Amino acid sequence: MLTIGKLHLKNWLIMAPMSGKTNLPFRIIVKKMGAALVITEMISAVGLSRGQSKTYSYLDSHPDERPVAAQLFGSEPDTIATSAGIATEKAMDIIDINMGCPVKKVVKTGSGAALMRDPKKVGRILSAVRKNTSLPLTVKIRAGWSPEEANALEIARIIEDSGADGISIHPRFASQGFSGKADWSLISRIKAALKIPIFGSGDITEPYLALKMRSETNCDGVMIGRAALANPWIFKQILDMEKKGSFDIPDLNERYHLIMEHYFLLIKYVGENRATNTMKGLLLLYTKRLPNRKFLKGIISEIDGREKLISVINKYFGYIREEIVSEG
Ligand SMILES: Cc1cc2nc3c(=O)[nH]c(=O)nc-3n(C[C@H](O)[C@H](O)[C@H](O)COP(=O)(O)O)c2cc1C
């Protein structure tokens, strides 16, 4: 079990925040698969503090996904503190501050990973947020801005001293983007130096790697990001691996039902058009390890609505079921 501030989680697995991906329907899905904590996409503190309705909608939640953390990004202490107050009123369970995003649009406003270049501001932001919420407070960081500014340990100490309850670390430099390998040894160093819980993020592509990260770094929790997009079952697989040393691969029926469940959740929360477009992309991810994706790839651009998408999904699964039966 993992405890963050006053919040007790059912296990040590966290769905990494991913903008454009970890929306409410996906969070509900991974929660069912065993993730102990989910995090919203990053939400603009400026947008929330100005009362923008689209930004507010990122705080929409559902009891099935709780506990859920709201991830906020911004550059000014007062604005971030105000937005943390809003997220608290909207019944989020944790406030998480993004200090790791390397995307140009974000860092040019002094937000995300740019904050790691301004340690004093990091302290000011967290002190201001701490005063405005009694929720557990966490921060997500990178290894630093660049190899020349590798200051994750310094920043982590400031975060702890400012009263935060946990730190997630994706140990790549902002300048690296997603290239190279995540340097798990940095997770170990930060864990050894600090008292608050540390969560490792980066390159958990297979279930055994989550157990490996935890035992190698001694981190308290492990975040899974990209791998969960194609394989939301990964949380259950990691927990099974921990308990019994092995895990099951989902069969065709499970995959089919998950795709349908995800599609209908998307329709409910984002409307039919956006749901259909999103599911067209997800379908290729969810069927990544299945045969005959040529059929899907060939037909996907012709899908223009719910009826067509469902008929393509049914046809594809019907076809590969028959293929597997006749081969078996
Ligand atoms: C498409 C995408 C969007 C992301 N968006 C966010 C975000 O909004 N906030 C954040 O802290 N990290 C974000 N990340 C980083 C992930 O949370 C995670 O740290 C990173 O992907 C490494 O983990 P992985 O190898 O398990 O994917 C994003 C990553 C990807 C691939």
Q: What percent of the chain has pLDDT over 70?
A: 98
171 CB under 6 A from ligand 1? no
Q: For residues 39-65, b (16+ Cβ closer than 10 Å) or e, as one string?
A: bbbbbbbbbbbeeeeebeebbebeeeb
At residue 1, the pLDDT reads: 79
At residue 205, the pLDDT reads: 97
Per residue in 153-198, pLDDT (tens digit) is: 999 999 999 999 999 999 999 999 999 999 999 999 999 999 999 9
Q: Spell out the long-range contacts of 281-289 with Cβ–Cβ below 8 A and sequence spacing 24 or more.
A: 282/229, 283/259, 283/313, 285/229, 285/230, 286/230, 286/255, 286/258, 286/259, 286/262, 287/255, 287/316, 288/230, 288/231, 289/249
Angstrom distance (rounded) from CA 243 to CA 235:
12
Q: What is the mean pLDDT of residues 298-322?
A: 92
The one catalytic residue among 101, 114, 115, 229: 101
Please provide the average confidence, as pLDDT, over all residues in the chain: 96
Distance (angstroms) between ligand 1 centre and the Cα of 17 equals: 6
Would the pLDDT of 323 be above 80? no
98 CB under 6 A from ligand 1? yes
With bands split at pLDDT 50, 70 and 90, how would you rate the model's confidence at 288? confident
The residue behind tokens 């980066």 is 202
Residue 58: both structure tokens together: 């990122």
Give Cβ neighbours of residue 62 (< 8 Å, ≥ 6 apart). 24, 28
Angstrom distance (rounded) from CA 317 to CA 254:
11
With bands split at pLDDT 50, 70 and 90, how would you rate the model's confidence at 321? confident
Per residue in 36-88, pLDDT (tens digit) is: 999 999 999 999 999 999 999 999 999 999 999 999 999 999 999 999 999 99
Distance (angstroms) between ligand 1 centre and the Cα of 35 equals: 16
Q: What pTM, to 2 d.p., does this model score?
A: 0.95
At residue 268, the pLDDT reads: 96
CA angle 199, 201, 207 (to 5 degrees): 100
Distance (angstroms) between ligand 1 centre and the Cα of 316 equals: 31
Angstrom distance (rounded) from CA 298 to CA 300:
6
Which residue's alpha carbon is at the smallest distance from atom 2 of ligand 1?
18
Q: What is the mean pLDDT of residues 207-234?
A: 97
Would the pLDDT of 328 be above 60? no
41 CB under 6 A from ligand 1? yes
Angstrom distance (rounded) from CA 219 to CA 169:
10
142 CB under 6 A from ligand 1? no
Residue 35: both structure tokens together: 């993730």
100 CB under 6 A from ligand 1? yes
Q: Which of 105, 34, 101 minimizes the C-alpha distance to 73?
A: 101
Ligand 1 atom closest to Cα of residue 224: 26
Per residue in 97-130, pLDDT (tens digit) is: 999 999 999 999 999 999 999 999 999 999 999 9
Active site residue 101: yes
Distance (angstroms) between ligand 1 centre and the Cα of 170 equals: 8
Is the torsion defined by CA of 299, 25, 86, 223 positive or negative? negative
**Eight-state DSSP code of residue 97:** E
Distance (angstroms) between ligand 1 centre and the Cα of 178 equals: 9
140 CB under 6 A from ligand 1? yes
